[in-house]
């Protein structure tokens, strides 16, 4: 069971177009550095394109910045080509294409220069990918049974490949599954059952576990946290600056999650203009107050969660990715993230 005591990490995307200095900065300053995604450098580095190179019948229109499945092609042949390396357990076939993830490869170089304990990677979750990327007729690909299985297995294999690469460099590896679309779960926008969501996520989480990594999930808005807490996930990452109190609605699930060794990554540092209005001391205080509130509400419902449980099982991060903000704001977010971590670690 890991005791992490407010170690710092980040979600993934940044606004930079060059990453050589940034990767060294991340490795030097964050307790759990993560590789930077650079969507402003190239459309291919956007979260819905970055992991798509292996997908059957996928079309990438760089001029109009669109990605979609063309199911009018010979799907039998395309599917056979996709599944062959999976049947052969050829994890390396799902390596990230350097043209789609330049930050990843510079990050590996930076990791090799400085030994450490922790490292984090990330993949786009199957639910968010499948509900965002459509076929040529604008139907969400997740509602196509063939494509749904492909999308889940593609995420699982990419996660395995990252975990395997990182394990060769650092002993403790976390791979996040980024699922922003889960904020719409339970609404008319998502026609999926709890069982379907759980099964898809658990397939990816199980793949990460098979490589000795910890499986995380990130959702940057409110969702059904009770559902996520009952999956095989090891690290729950939420926007704690905006939605921390919502986690208090699930005390029993949170208690069970902590008991089985689960970690919570609190996105307590705002990732936009708001960062200019708060200090690190204020952010640390805000998180402590929020954690006490969760503990108090849990006690009121007959569930015992102590502050020590949170201290030992908590990471901190920005509230979400920073790909759409400015470099100046991003730098301030990272600076205050580090300072907030230092304050929280002191108790």
Q: How many CA atoms lie within 13 A of 318 on its CB side?
A: 27
The reported pLDDT for the residue numbered 159 is 98
The reported pLDDT for the residue numbered 36 is 96
Residue 144 near residue 89 (C-beta atoms within 8 A): no
Q: What distance lies between CA 321 and its chain's CA centroid?
A: 9
Lowest mean per-residue pLDDT among 17-31, 37-51, 263-277, 317-331: 17-31
CA distance 48 to 39: 10
Residue 29: C-alpha distances to residues 8, 114, 145 (Å)? 9, 11, 44
Looking at the predicted structure, is the pLDDT value of residue 333 above 70?
A: yes
- Whose tokens are 């791979």? That residue is 175
Residue 207: C-alpha distances to residues 86, 127, 153, 181, 215 (Å)? 12, 16, 9, 21, 9
Q: What is the mean pLDDT of residues 153-161?
A: 98
The reported pLDDT for the residue numbered 187 is 60
Q: Which domains does the chain have, with CATH numbers?
A: 7-51+93-346 (3.20.20.210)
Looking at the predicted structure, is the pLDDT value of residue 87 above 90?
A: yes
Q: What is the mean pLDDT of residues 116-130?
A: 96
The reported pLDDT for the residue numbered 2 is 75
pLDDT category at 223 given cuts 50, 70, 90 is confident
Q: What is the mean pLDDT of residues 67-72?
A: 95
The reported pLDDT for the residue numbered 85 is 98
Strand order in the sheet with 134-135: 58-61, 66-69, 134-135
pLDDT category at 1 given cuts 50, 70, 90 is low
Q: Burial level of 272, CB count in 10 A (0-12/13-18/19+)?
A: middle
pLDDT category at 205 given cuts 50, 70, 90 is very high
Q: What is the mean pLDDT of residues 151-172?
A: 98
Strand order in the sheet with 214-219: 7-8, 314-318, 263-269, 235-238, 214-219, 172-178, 118-124
Looking at the predicted structure, is the pLDDT value of residue 343 above 90?
A: yes
Q: What is the pTM of this model?
A: 0.95
For residue 158, the surrounding DSSP H or E stretch is: helix 145-167
pLDDT in tens, 238-291: 999 999 999 999 999 999 999 999 999 999 999 999 999 999 999 999 999 999
- Whose tokens are 């199980």? That residue is 206
Share of the chain above pLDDT 70, in %: 98
Q: What is the mean pLDDT of residues 322-333?
A: 95
| Average pLDDT value for the chain | 94
């Amino acid at each position: 069971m890991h005791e992490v005591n407010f170690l710092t990490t980040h979600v993934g995307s940044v606004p930079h177009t060059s990453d050589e200095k940034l990767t060294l900065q991340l490795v030097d300053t964050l307790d759990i550095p993560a590789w930077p995604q650079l969507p402003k450098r190239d459309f291919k580095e956007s979260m819905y394109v970055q992991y798509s190179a292996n997908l059957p019948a996928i079309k990438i229109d760089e001029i109009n910045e669109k990605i979609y499945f063309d199911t009018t092609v010979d799907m039998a042949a395309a599917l056979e080509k996709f599944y062959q390396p999976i049947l052969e357990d050829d994890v390396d076939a799902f390596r990230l294409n350097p043209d789609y993830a330049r930050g990843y490869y510079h990050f590996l170089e930076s990791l090799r220069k400085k030994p450490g304990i922790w490292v984090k990677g990330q993949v786009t979750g199957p639910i968010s990918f499948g509900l965002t990327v459509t076929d040529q007729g604008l139907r969400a690909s997740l509602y196509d049974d063939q494509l749904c299985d492909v999308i889940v297995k593609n995420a699982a294999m990419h996660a395995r490949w990252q975990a395997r690469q990182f394990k060769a460099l650092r002993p403790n590896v976390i791979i996040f599954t980024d699922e922003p679309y889960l904020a719409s779960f339970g609404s008319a926008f998502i026609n999926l059952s709890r069982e379907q969501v759980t099964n898809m996520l658990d397939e990816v989480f199980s793949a990460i576990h098979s490589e000795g990594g910890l499986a995380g999930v990130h959702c940057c808005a409110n969702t059904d946290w009770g559902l996520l807490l009952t999956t095989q996930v090891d690290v729950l990452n939420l926007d704690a600056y905006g939605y921390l109190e919502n986690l208090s609605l699930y005390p029993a699930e949170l208690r069970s999650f902590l008991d089985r060794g689960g970690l919570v990554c609190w996105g307590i540092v705002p990732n936009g203009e708001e960062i200019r209005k708060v200090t690190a001391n204020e952010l640390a205080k805000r998180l402590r107050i929020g954690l006490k509130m969760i503990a108090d509400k849990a006690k009121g419902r007959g569930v015992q969660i102590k502050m020590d449980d949170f201290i030992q099982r908590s990471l901190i991060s920005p509230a979400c990715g920073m790909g759409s903000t400015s470099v100046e704001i991003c730098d301030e977010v990272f600076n205050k993230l580090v300072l907030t971590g230092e304050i929280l670690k002191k108790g």
